[in-house]
């Protein structure tokens, strides 16, 4: 096995240690046992997280090679597609579960959500660009196909959402295959020293841990009634 392949496997293994597909909230969701309130919370907190994405994605462009800049801009154009803006799609799921959209937009999100946002921003501003790519593209986006693929059946057959209501999950179970793959590929291309690879692996692992912590906050607050606000 080549050195690059070993690096790729190490990145995957780091994320697998705390992959949110295995979180108790996901397990309950896949069985159709998660409350509608918690499903609303998943959408609300996702909106509060992803609405800040430009704050950690675009600063990478100021210190990265051209192909990394192109990667960031391509991903963002897809997220902000005028015909299918991803922020609007997740709000559709929130509304299907009883959320007041204006109230969502006026809120701040849970402290655990804000902690994840702040962590991603710190990585972007304080670490080399490849650490940010490892955190955002590998530690986070690469989780979506397995994570969302696990809950789609329950969304359709148990909760009986329409395809339009659950589009965020079906869409990202597919597009994030490519988004995650782009992150792996760019790291394999540019992380040419053991030190760079070790840094990328560390931040992929830490990002998966932070996303798990973010899931903890949603599960405790919206499902188990622990008041974080």
Which CATH number does the domain housing residue 191 bear?
1.20.910.10
pLDDT in tens, 63-109: 999 999 998 898 888 777 777 777 899 999 999 999 999 999 999 99
Residue 139, classified by CB atoms within 10 Å of its CB into exposed (0-12), middle (13-18) or buried (19+), is buried
Residues composing the chain: 229
Please, which residues have CB within 8 angstroms of residue 212's CB and are 6 or more apart in sequence? Answer: 18, 20, 23
Rounded distance between C-alpha atoms, residue 137 and residue 132, angstroms: 8
Residue 226 pLDDT? 94
Task: Tell whether 24 is covered by a domain.
Answer: yes
DSSP H or E segment with residue 8: helix 3-16
* Of 115, 142, 110, the residue nearest 38 (C-alpha): 110
Rounded distance between C-alpha atoms, residue 147 and residue 18, angstroms: 12
Task: Tell whether 229 is covered by a domain.
Answer: no
* Total domain count, the chain: 1
Tell me the pTM.
Answer: 0.93
Task: Tell whether 9 is covered by a domain.
Answer: yes
Residue 80 pLDDT? 73
Task: Tell whether 54 is covered by a domain.
Answer: yes
Rounded distance between C-alpha atoms, residue 180 and residue 137, angstroms: 5
What is the extent of the structural domain holding 66?
3-223
Q: Which regions of the chain are under pLDDT 50?
A: 1-4
Q: Is 100 left (phi over 0), alpha (psi -120 to 50) or beta?
A: beta
* Of 31, 18, 41, 34, the residue nearest 94 (C-alpha): 41
Task: Tell whether 228 is covered by a domain.
Answer: no
Q: CA end-to-end span of the chain, whole Å? A: 49
Going 210 to 208 to 94 to 59, the CA torsion angle's sign is: positive
The answer to whether residues 47 and 87 touch, using CB atoms and an 8 Å cutoff, is: yes
Task: Tell whether 45 is covered by a domain.
Answer: yes
């Amino acid at each position: 096995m080549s050195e690059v392949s070993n690096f790729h496997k190490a990145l995957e293994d780091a994320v697998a240690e705390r992959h949110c597909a295995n979180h108790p909230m996901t397990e309950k969701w896949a069985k159709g046992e998660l409350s509608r309130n918690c499903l609303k919370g998943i959408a609300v907190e996702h909106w509060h997280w992803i609405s800040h994405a430009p704050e950690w994605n675009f600063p990478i462009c100021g210190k990265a090679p051209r192909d990394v800049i192109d990667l960031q801009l391509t991903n963002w154009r897809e997220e902000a597609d005028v015909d299918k803006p991803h922020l609007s799609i997740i709000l559709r799921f929130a509304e299907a579960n009883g959320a007041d959209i204006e109230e969502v937009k006026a809120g701040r999100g849970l402290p655990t959500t804000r902690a994840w946002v702040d962590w991603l921003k710190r990585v972007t501003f304080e670490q080399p660009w490849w650490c940010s790519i490892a955190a955002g593209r590998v530690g986070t986006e690469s989780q979506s196909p397995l994570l969302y693929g696990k809950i789609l059946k329950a969304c359709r057959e148990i909760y009986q959402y329409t395809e339009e209501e659950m589009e965020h999950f079906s869409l990202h179970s597919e597009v994030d295959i490519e988004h995650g793959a782009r992150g792996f590929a760019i790291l394999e291309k540019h992380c040419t020293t053991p030190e760079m690879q070790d840094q990328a692996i560390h931040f992929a692992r830490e990002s998966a841990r932070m996303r798990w912590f973010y899931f903890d906050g949603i599960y405790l607050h919206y499902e188990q009634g622990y008041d974080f606000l």
